[in-house]
Amino acid sequence: MKRVAILISGGGSNMVKLVESMAGDHPARPVLVLSNEPLAGGIALAKKFGIETSVVNHRHFEGREAFDRALNSQLEAVQPDVICLAGFMRILTPVFTRRWAGRVLNIHPSLLPKYPGLDTHARALQAGDAEAGCTVHEVTDVLDDGPIRGQARVAIEAGDTPETLAARVLKMEHRLYPAVLERFVSGKTGPVYLREEAEAPITSRLSD
Ligand code: GAR
């Protein structure tokens, strides 16, 4: 059984979907949920699942490398095969990325290489893009870079705001990340591509 650690900073909805997916004959199990934010809602959710949790508050460290060394030692204690960054909002240094190279996945709310960094949905709307989406990629030394392991696309609709778009993209994140994780822990690196389902035509919905 492969061992998966999940790093979060907030509500942890992606973490929940990953945890729920690792059941039955899935080849992996969650061994740790770690947050840099002491009040992250996802920590309470992970506890409800009975998963070991840990908080490493970045404010208690002088500089990114010291924080990353603390992350490494927490992770070394659980020996993860794979580390999923799921809404983990810290910039990582090579102290972390080189230690775990080839084992770390991240989900990012844009169609990378477009819009690394923050405010991805506002930037897609501002640019007049027809599509937005999310990407799961392997983590390297470079922020929001690294080999793409999955991507899901969402059509941008007239009247979309960053909030309405984020909500539709998040639904796709919840499908994409578990699909990529399962392939990744099985040693398959070919990317997963998903597209938002088109609404079923009204006639077929009535005949259901
Ligand atoms: C998700 O939309 C994720 O893609 C994004 O934070 C949100 C976390 O939501 N991540 C980033 O922006 C990373 N740069 P969640 O806590 O409900 O999973």
d(CA 134, CA 201): 26
Q: What is the 3-state secondary structure (H, E, C) of 91-113?
A: CCCHHHHCCCCCCEEEEECCCCC
Closest CA to 86 of 165, 176, 152, 1: 176
Lowest-confidence range among 87-96, 162-171, 190-199?
190-199
Return the pLDDT at 177: 98
- The span from the CA of 106 to the CA of 103, in Å, is 10
Whether the predicted pLDDT of 73 surpasses 90: yes
Residue nearest to atom 10 of ligand 1 (CA): 87
Categorize the per-residue pLDDT at 206 as very low, low, confident or very high, splitting at 50, 70 and 90. Answer: very low
For this structure, is 108 an active site residue?
Answer: yes
Is the confidence at residue 205, as pLDDT, over 70?
no
How far away, in angstroms, is 205 Cα from ligand 1 center?
A: 33
Q: In whole angstroms, what is the distance from residue 22 CA to residue 181 CA?
A: 9
* Peptide bond connecting 113 to the previous residue in cis, omega within 30 degrees of 0: yes
Residue closest to 136 by CA, chosen among 93, 73, 185, 95: 185
Q: Residue range 62-90: average pLDDT?
A: 98
Per-residue pLDDT at 198: 60
**pLDDT for 106-121, tens place per residue?**
999 999 999 999 999 9
| Structural domains of the chain in order of their starting residue, each with its CATH number | 1-100 (3.40.50.170), 108-208 (3.40.50.170)
Lowest mean pLDDT among 10-19, 76-85, 148-157, 198-207: 198-207
Output the pLDDT for position 197. 80
| 145 touches 105 (CB < 8 A) | no
Label residue 208 by pLDDT band (50, 70, 90).
very low
Out of 60, 108, 121, 137, the active site residue is 108
CB neighbour class for 91 (10 Å; exposed up to 12, middle 13-18, buried from 19): exposed
Distance CA 149, CA 188 (A): 9
Q: Is the pLDDT of residue 123 over 60?
A: yes
Q: From 85, 170, 171, give the residue whose CB has the most ligand 1 atoms within 8 Å, as the site to mutate.
A: 170
- pLDDT for residue 146 is more than 80: yes
Q: What is the pLDDT of residue 189?
A: 84
- What is the rounded CA–CA span in Å between residue 101 and residue 97? 6
Tell whether the model's pLDDT for residue 204 goes beyond 80.
Answer: no
- Span 87-97, mean pLDDT? 98
Residue 202, pLDDT > 90, answer no
Interval between CA 88 and ligand 1 midpoint (Å): 7
pLDDT for residue 199: 56
What is the mean pLDDT of the segment spanning 133-162?
97
- Pocket probe for ligand 1: among 8, 14, 20, 180, the residue whose CB has the most ligand atoms within 8 Å is 14
